[in-house]
Structure 1
Amino acid sequence: MTDRHAENGYGVLTEPATLTIERLLPGPAERIWGYITDSDLRRQWLAAGPMGSEAGSPFELTWRNDELTDPAGERPPGFPTVHSMPGEIIEIDPPHRLVITWGSTGGVTFDLAPQGKDVLLTIVHRRLGDRSLMLNIAPGWHMHLDILAARLRGEQPEPFWDGWTRLRLDYDRRLPA
């Protein structure tokens, strides 16, 4: 991990409206790439939805956070059980980099860098316009990545919503007001 990023897996603002979060994951890079681009693998930690293999390919991601862990924990009020969002692949270089559009924000970049037997996954989520959006997205990425790391290591992850709620409080203290 680089020194510009917080310890313990916390994301940091690398620009006023840009969240960067890193995870060192058990490799190889092709394995992690599969968990980012293959719908069946991605739905185990983030969201389902087939994704093309070239720039310009549209896709739709569908979140079912209640299904990510058993138990799921207590979903906070206002969060739907299912949420879908269209996107488009902007740049793709398997198994190193994927850049996609992400709803109304500036998009998300996934970079994979081998580190011995492990892979450093860096996610950069741009144009998170207001603090309330950041306080939903930062703990979301954090918890989703905790689940990915647990799945890759064959471990049982913490209940999604319990972790998200705990992390939201942490990020409320960590992110500038």
Structure 2
Amino acid sequence: MTDRNGLTPYGTLTEPATLTIERLLPGPAERIWAYITDSELRRQWLAAGPMGQEAGSPFELTWRNDELTEPAGERPPGFPAVHSMQGEITEIEPPHRLVITWGSTGGVTFELTPQGEDVLLTIVHRRLGDRSLMLNIAPGWHMHLDILAARLRGEQPEPFWDGWARLRLDYDRRLPA
């Protein structure tokens, strides 16, 4: 399944433990960059937390997925209402590239590539060796990016947890056992 730009909304394993997911978003790149790096804008689609603008800067992201959409949908058992994670910026080239550490995994890269009036956002999440971890993270990124795209277009996103649960089933079929 692809969108009108030929992109699949689903993340793919570009290496055995590396998830890559793309979205074509309404630009310019500076606007998308702000939604990635500014706590107030980022909390509308992913997680809150101030973030520096230089390599070596530590940060903390705090997820409140129940607050991302109205309604939120039903949170699955075992998921906390609030979750925080420490990280560090390892590379930064505003407004085109941000590389951060991500908990116990190998980290996440955000790449922004202008394409006319739009921007291709590519997220690469490395070292997801455990399939159960992949089955939580892949639908999470997918749903968070769906919310970002809806916010940027002024649209109402699908309830977060309902979308996540639906996508988890999809990724269970798509990702190798």
Structure 1 residue runs of 4 or more that deviate by more than 6 Å after TM superposition: none
Distance in 2 of aligned mates of 1:163 and 1:156? 13
How many angstroms does 1:8 deviate by?
Answer: 3.6
Residues matched between the structures, number = 173
Aligned match of 1:3: none
Task: Kindly provide the CA deviation profile for residues 41-60 of structure 1, in whole angstroms up to 9, marking residues without a partner as x.
Answer: 00000000000000000000
Measured in 2, the distance between the counterparts of 1:81 and 1:8 equals 30
CA deviation vs aligned residue, 1:53-75 (integer Å, no higher than 9, x gap): 00000000000000000000000
Identity of aligned residues (%): 90
TM norm structure 2: 0.96
Counterpart position of 2:61 = 61
SS across alignment from 2:45 = coil
Retained in 1: the 8 A contact 2:7–2:23?
A: no
* Matching residue of 1:144: 144
Separation (CA, whole Å) in 1 of partners of 2:37 and 2:9: 22
Residues 117-139 of structure 1: CA distance to partner in whole angstroms, max 9, x if unpaired?
A: 00000000000011000000000
Map of 1:127 onto structure 2: 127
The alignment's C-alpha RMSD in Å is 1.2
TM-score, normalised to structure 1, is: 0.96
Q: Is this contact kept in 1: 2:25–2:149, CA < 8 A?
A: yes
Partner secondary structure for residue 120 of structure 1: strand
What is the CA–CA distance in structure 2 between the aligned matches of 1:72 and 1:88, rounded to whole Å? 29
Post-superposition CA distance 1:77-115 (Å, at most 9, x none): 000000000000000000000000000000000000000
Residue aligning to 1:23: 23
What runs of 5+ residues in structure 1 fail to find an aligned partner?
Answer: 1-5
* Long gaps (5+) in structure 2: 1-5
Q: Does 1:85 align with 2:85?
A: yes
State how far apart, in whole Å, the 1-side matches of 2:75 and 2:29 are.
33
